Structure 1
Amino acid sequence: MIDVTAVFDIGKTNKKFFLFDNDFKEVYKEYILFDEIKDEDGHPTENLKALQDWLKRVFENILKASEFNVKAINFSTYGASFVHLDENGDVLTPLYNYTKPLDETIVTSFLEKYGPKDAFLKKTGCGDLNMLNSGMQLYWLKYSKPEVYSKIKYSLHLPQYLSYIFSGVPLSEFTSIGCHTALWDYSKKDYHEWVYKEGINKILPTIVSTETSINMNYNGKRIKIGVGIHDSSAALLPYVRSIKKKFILVSTGTWSITFNPFTEHPISEDSKEIDSINYMRINGKAVKASSLFLGNEYKIQVSKLDKHFGVPDDYHRKVKFDYDTYFEINKDFKHMFKWESVVDESMPGMTKIPYETYEQAYHQLMMELVGLQIKSINKAIGNDDIKHIYVDGGFSNNDLYIKLLSHYFNDKKLKTTDASLGSALGAAISISDKKLNSKFLKKNYSLKKHKPFISR
């Protein structure tokens, strides 16, 4: 039998289950998708009952499997989501979706008590006030649904609720509290005063380190049960554990999020930077982050280019960086793309594509998008002295993106990784006693170094 750590990695769409051996190699995987259900207001939300049933079924089947000996289990999930339990441990409400609109009167009444807004956002490391701040959900429940709120014994962030399903122990931990919840005062390193004034701290369980685990007898088997971890913080953990020098991580996809886990200035100096937010490491240390809707904008603009030039929708994948094309565009550079999901002061009032070939237009697009990415990275770095950049996710394989980025940051060392296991692997590592060395990323993440191109 192989000794393994089990991890449930719960995204908004895909729900995955992994087994990792002692060297953190994936030895088993399965996944499922659930149709969303609707809350009492008709807003789509997670089918919590179906998720819970699947968790238990999958785990009990694995415990019976003859080839695996499960020693530990942990949970990585998306953030900004609370599960509210009554005194019997029963779920009181739907898992309210963080996309659910928050009544403006609630936000107004909150800011009248605890504003001004800019100062509050700065202290709590948030970009705005809405349901994406899970703390605001508690305030909303207290004043919009007092009959429900009065029955809450514990409110658990989703990773900790999944742990609770198996352990029965209600806990809080740093990475979930620190993910734009509006609960944490980063200057005080404690819950914000509003949490205590509203008495909300009474329904938030004891805070423990994310590395905490509970040794339990589960169905007759001794198993170490982790307390769960927020997925973004989990994805960052393998880097933090294996790299000794200061670095930033640019995690790319639909959203491109730049993490600076070594910042000495976690709260943005410019309170109007709505795309700068904070996360927390597993020990409670702040991570400054900046976000950019890069993959979404890329998808929109590439689709338009495909139609304009009449090429197949996968044609963009074949375009490689060409220095001569870059040079011609760069020597008299003008912004030509009007973004649809990103706001930038440099963009024109409408898109103009004066090029004859797809390749030229695609180079223009990538030069502009990487320009946005550079601004986002610089926000996360701030005044910190950081010489190493790691890029993972979808754009780590985009030739133009990497060459342009490494060219701009030619005073830094840029490396790409294939972190497809990302948050799941981080969840396994967070409850492991095993030390990671500098070779871990090369061995497990297909680490590649990139040199800037030479200007001719």
Structure 2
Amino acid sequence: MTHPLIALIDIGKTNAKVSVIDPQTGTEIRGSRRANAVVQGPAMRELDVEAISRWLLDALRDAPHRDRIRTIVPVAHGAAAVLIDRDNRVVAAPDYEDACFERVNAEYGQQRDAYQSTYSPDLPLGLNLGRQLFFLQEAQPQLFSRVAHALLYPQFWAWRLSGVMASEVTSLGCHSDLWLPREQHFSKLAQARGWDKLFPPKKLASDVLGPISAEIAAATGLDPQCQVTSGIHDSNASYLKFLIARDREEPFTVISSGTWTVVMANRADLSRLREDKDMLASVDAFGSPVATARFMGGREYEAIAGTDVRPNMPALLNVIERQSMALPAFASGGPFAGREGRVINAESLSGSERASLATLYIALMSELLIEMLGADGAVLIDGPLATNPLFGSILGALLPERSIELSSGDGGNTRAACYLAGFHDAPPSPMTPATAASLKGLPAYREAWRKLLVS
């Protein structure tokens, strides 16, 4: 009998992907990708979950060896929930980047739990899920009165596939204002507003909710006994694959990249977290809090680079010599949220030089967040930054005493998907040591960049 395969559904803020994974080798057989979009709903901008649903069915139907897919693992971005009515229809799928949620900032701020309880910073737009719910409950009471269930984004996709509703802590604990990570229960805010009753029972990310529904089986041609797990928040999936490969008490640092660059420090002291620097306690797949800091690195890289040209070492050396600098912030969120990003000494930079400047900026920001967290141990880089030809070598030069490792192979959330699907002996994700670049002018450049941050 041929061995079973896994389908990983990864719904990011920018892109969505379906990957077919062989758990015996830990590799991706094939992936299907699409760019995501938002649509204007009656009350706010919304995630286009219906378009993603149609694409998802097509991607599963066209998946190679679909008859061998035995488990589906959903992964999705944070700060998102899809609201469902009593007839299982979508009421709203708020887009956290809509500025409408800030209309209730004053009222909402008076009701949030203290930062020391939730370790959830007061974020702009709708990046606190609680603010989204508060806005709808206060500003759109008729719409909100129809809400019977709130499904966190990974669990929405699990429900769409299986028909079973669940909640899970990695998304609940993603700067939502809804969760107390130390006590492991809903916040006072969530309970006082009655939101806790909208969330289905909590499950582990690895818990099987059930087989795919008959409708999904008919639409995709998948085996009707194909199982669907509860699913996990995307940055936590990246963190999980490193957590299961080492002692949980061992200090290490993960840089998970994509739309967001998220730095997660295992065993770091939560008392170092600062609300005004967009630092938070994430919650890992086992329910433990993890000191975390982040910024919108993917968006900021695009804003600085401007093109898809790859960075290279000669271009980087030119950027350092010219003292061309990018100063935050070029997107919402992060330790410098509210500042307007600017680029200096960058006139007539070539495409490769702008890409090298963007890479250098992301490396400097990442090093700063590692320092702020007091993060120890090896630095493990996952996602697009692991394939950037300069990022690892720049970070190695900035952190010469640390081991810098790049996730290679298929990378992404492949290993986490194998683990969550019950294949605990799947091969670990291959890692490649980064060689620190010899950048003579980097220390002086870094010092000048840091001075400009506080000027």
TM-score range, shorter chain: 0.7 to 0.9
Look up the SS of the partner of 1:260 in the other structure: strand
Q: Distance in 2 between matches of 1:96 and 1:359?
A: 37
2:274 corresponds in structure 1 to 270
1-10 or 188-197: bigger deviation: 1-10
1:213 corresponds in structure 2 to 208
Distance 1:162 1:295, change over 3 A: closer
Which residue, out of 29, 38, 41, partners 2:31?
29
Q: Distance in 2 between matches of 1:359 and 1:3?
A: 43
Q: Distance in 2 between matches of 1:272 and 1:38?
A: 31
Is the CA contact (8 Å cut-off) linking 1:73 and 1:225 kept in structure 2? Answer: yes
Q: Distance in 1 between matches of 2:372 and 2:206?
A: 29
Distance 1:188 1:268, change over 3 A: farther
CA displacement at 1:54 relative to structure 2:
3.5
CA displacement at 1:408 relative to structure 2:
2.9
Letter in 1 for 2:274: D
Q: How many aligned positions are there?
A: 425
Q: Which has the larger radius of gyration?
A: 1
Q: Distance in 2 between matches of 1:52 and 1:334?
A: 47
Distance 1:38 1:354, change over 3 A: closer
CA displacement at 1:436 relative to structure 2:
5.1
Letter in 2 for 1:431: A
Distance 1:356 1:389, change over 3 A: closer
Is the CA contact (8 Å cut-off) linking 1:14 and 1:32 kept in structure 2? Answer: yes
Which residue, out of 178, 189, 194, partners 2:189?
194
Q: Does 1:290 align with 2:293?
A: yes
Q: Distance in 1 between matches of 2:29 and 2:179?
A: 38
1:310 corresponds in structure 2 to none
Is the CA contact (8 Å cut-off) linking 1:261 and 1:286 kept in structure 2? Answer: no
1:14 corresponds in structure 2 to 15
TM-score, structure 2 as length reference = 0.79
CA displacement at 1:32 relative to structure 2:
3.5
TM-score, structure 1 as length reference = 0.79
Is the CA contact (8 Å cut-off) linking 2:363 and 2:391 kept in structure 1? Answer: yes
Is the CA contact (8 Å cut-off) linking 1:171 and 1:208 kept in structure 2? Answer: yes
Distance 1:172 1:250, change over 3 A: same
2:412 corresponds in structure 1 to 422
Look up the SS of the partner of 2:200 in the other structure: coil
Is the CA contact (8 Å cut-off) linking 1:389 and 1:412 kept in structure 2? Answer: yes
Q: Distance in 2 between matches of 1:416 and 1:22?
A: 21
2:126 corresponds in structure 1 to 131
Q: Distance in 1 between matches of 2:65 and 2:104?
A: 54
Letter in 2 for 1:430: L
* 1:383-402 alignment runs, 5 A limit: 386-398=376-388, 400-402=390-392
CA displacement at 1:228 relative to structure 2:
1.6
Q: Does 1:447 align with 2:432?
A: yes
Q: Distance in 2 between matches of 1:227 and 1:83?
A: 15
Distance 1:397 1:159, change over 3 A: closer
Gaps of 5+ in 1: 307-312
Q: Distance in 1 between matches of 2:211 and 2:346?
A: 63
Distance 1:415 1:13, change over 3 A: closer
Is the CA contact (8 Å cut-off) linking 1:163 and 1:226 kept in structure 2? Answer: yes
Letter in 1 for 2:245: S
Look up the SS of the partner of 1:272 in the other structure: helix
Is the CA contact (8 Å cut-off) linking 2:6 and 2:418 kept in structure 1? Answer: yes
Q: Distance in 2 between matches of 1:18 and 1:359?
A: 31
Q: Distance in 2 between matches of 1:359 and 1:297?
A: 16
Look up the SS of the partner of 1:68 in the other structure: helix
Gaps of 5+ in 2: 215-222, 442-455
Letter in 1 for 2:73: N
Q: Does 1:204 align with 2:199?
A: yes
CA displacement at 1:209 relative to structure 2:
1.2
CA displacement at 1:353 relative to structure 2:
5.8
2:75 corresponds in structure 1 to 76
Cα RMSD between the aligned structures? Answer: 3.8
